[in-house]
A and B are shown apart, each in its own frame.
Chain A
Amino acid sequence: MRGAEPIVLGIESTAHTFGVGIATTRHILANVNSVYEPKAGGIHPREAAEHHSKVASEVLIHALREAGLSIRDVDAIAVALGPGMGPCLRVGATLARYLAVKYSKPLVPVNHAVAHVEIAKLTTGFRDPLVVYIAGGNTIITTLVEGRYRVFGETLDIPLGNCMDTFAREVGLGYPGTPRVEEKAMGAKSYIELPYVVKGQDLQFSGLLTKALRLVREGARLEDVCYSLIETAYSMLVEVAERALVHTGKREVTLTGGVARSRLLCRKLEAMAKLHEAVFKPVDPEYAGDNGAMIAYTGALAYASGVTMSVEESAVRPMWRLDQVEIPWSRTAKLLRNS
């Protein structure tokens, strides 16, 4: 490897966001994203993919301009191969292969969930946190154990963000659901008991969603239902995070993913962390939602550890789990710290 740090361009297209970022193992050089907004209802994978194809070249050019670089200055092309929606993932993967072949650059596979975790570590300065990763498509509590991000708890049915989005859509609060429901909840007068489902370390939100919708249909005050829904969902989540924190004895807690912008959830996690002598800090809000920078940054970490793939190996992986990914750079970081 050359003396200078490698510069990696990363492409994100797992769901509603098409993004291109440029990063080294230390710095973000560019972060340009374009979000597909459905006219009605949830994300339609094919329509989102069409959006991504349309904006791809423009986003790429903007990112290079933002970093003040030409594509020739880039050492490797990283791409989020999963988890995500097949048609969306293929847009990013196709662009990555094209760039890799045309400019003779190595290709680096990046797991989208790992990228959310790594960008949180970069922006909080935490070295070994317990990570709560909450977004429209994911609800995972994880931490690094022996070279992998082990899942200590996760949703068994729908993700928390999805639960909020669906509820908000059905009751006419619009999109995105979490901030709308939280805002409405501020006008609550009473608390209504809803299904609180924590199974061991895992969570279930579908019963909660069904009951909340039924209450609204039956004429309960929307503000009260919003409050009870958000309180119940967040309490379930923080409780599982607390168990994981006590079990692992970690000293840092971070929140990443789109829902990391929630001040309410941050306050609850902070209160929990304090009980156990841990510090809490969420990911920088700019990198909370899906973005290209986190793929570039994680790609840079992976590339610096020698992780690359051939074009033949670059098929998309819609069901790629966080805990299937080896994290070789965690070992390197430890060695450096100990030396």
Chain B
Amino acid sequence: MEERGSGEEGARALTLSAASRLLEDLGAEWISLLGVGAEAVVVRCRWRSFDAVAKYRVPKPYRDERLDSVLRRRRTVLEAKLLIEVKKLGIPAPTLLYVEPELHILLMDFIPGTRLRDVIVRLDKPEEVFRKLGFYTGLMHERGIVHGDLTTSNVVMVNGDAYIIDFGLGAFTNELEEQGVDVHLMLRSLESTHPSLVPPLYSAFMDGYEEARGAEARRAVEEKVVEIRRRGRYVAERRLKARRSAST
């Protein structure tokens, strides 16, 4: 156990010190570590008077260095493009400040607020927030963008406005399946934390979605969501039927 712990600290420390050196090179001042995900290190920092977030895609020791570099560069650029396109649609999201593809890093402005997940029960008009989120999601889908990880943890509330963050798993695609996954993930994140609020908030979300895309698209996506859930792939709510109890 101890050996494993120190090994991990080694890997983590190396990653963080690499991120810290990169920020220094960019003239950014480290404020706090926001998270270490599967793919990237996310750091709050001060950069040219901006309160900023730096996202650094870390190298992976398990893949060929050339492939690793290609992937990290490509994904950094993709995320930057997604942020720009989403902004063009007028959707509240972080503003891209700077991108350095060769260093696999991008900077965006920090959204000072609270995660939607943590404040749902305290919202004045939660239906209105979800209607707006549905509208934004519909706009993105209509423009050929999917978020890829659309959950209540990736929405930040600032003075009643809902900002969508983290486009790291996003893509430019018109595939119905991926649109369905966006809507399904939002629904599932609601179910896991606020099951009693699901019916009104989900229907408000889909009303907003319909405003952006029309009734036809709403029906198609709703059907897709049902299909995704029936596959049981991501679904945790199907309970075990009562089995013969372990008697005798």
Contact = CB atoms under 8 A, between A and B. Distances in A.
Indicate whether A and B interact. yes
Interface of A: 1, 145-148, 150-151, 191, 193, 196, 199-200, 231-232, 234-235, 238-239, 242-243, 245-247, 267-269, 271-272, 274-277, 279, 305-307, 321, 323-324, 326, 328, 331-332
By secondary structure, the B interface counts as loop
Contacts, number: 92
Contact of A1 (B4, B240, B241, B248): B248
Contact of A193 (B39, B70, B178, B246): B70
Interface stretch (B57-65, B157-165, B201-209, B217-225): B57-65
10 contacts: A150-B232, A150-B233, A231-B64, A234-B62, A268-B63, A272-B62, A274-B11, A307-B243, A323-B233, A328-B240
Interface centre among A147, A267, A279 (most CB of B within 10 A): A147
Contact of A246 (B38, B62, B243): B38
Interface of B: 4-5, 7-8, 11, 37-39, 60-64, 66-68, 70-71, 148, 169, 171, 178, 181, 232-234, 236, 238-241, 243-244, 246, 248
Nearest to A145: B236
Contacts of A246: 37-38
Contact of A191 (B66, B171, B181): B66
Contacts of B5: 277
A247 B233 CA distance: 15
Nearest to A227: B64
B71 A196 contact: yes
B50 to A, nearest CB: 28
B243 A306 contact: yes
A277 B2 CA distance: 11
Given A235-B67, A271-B61, A305-B243, A277 B4 contact: yes
A246 B37 CA distance: 7
A166 to B, nearest CB: 22
Contacts of B66: 191, 193
Contact of A268 (B4, B37, B62): B62
A131 B151 CA distance: 25
A235 B38 contact: no
Contacts of B241: 326
A331 B63 contact: no
A243 B64 CA distance: 18
Nearest to A307: B243
A326 B70 contact: no
A275 B11 contact: yes
A276 B67 contact: no
Nearest to A1: B248
A193 B11 contact: no
A196 B171 CA distance: 14
Contacts of A323: 232-233
A142 B62 CA distance: 20
Given A193-B67, A231-B67, A245-B38, 13 more contacts: A146-B239, A148-B240, A191-B67, A200-B181, A231-B64, A235-B67, A235-B68, A268-B62, A272-B62, A277-B5, A306-B246, A321-B232, A326-B243
Contacts of A199: 171, 178
Contacts of A243: 38-39
Given A191-B66, A193-B70, A200 B178 contact: yes
Nearest to B61: A271
Contact of A242 (B38, B68, B234, B238): B38
Contacts of B233: 150-151, 323
B239 to A, nearest CB: 8
A167 to B, nearest CB: 18
B187 to A, nearest CB: 16
Contacts of A268: 62-63
Closest 9 CB pairs of A and B: A277-B8, A235-B63, A268-B62, A246-B38, A306-B244, A271-B62, A147-B240, A243-B38, A231-B64
B181 A196 contact: no
Nearest to B8: A277
Contacts of A146: 236, 239-240
A242 to B, nearest CB: 5
Contacts of A151: 233
Contacts of B63: 231, 234-235, 238-239, 268
Contacts of B169: 200
Contacts of A267: 62
Contact of A235 (B39, B64, B243, B246): B64
Contacts of B60: 235, 238-239, 242, 272, 275
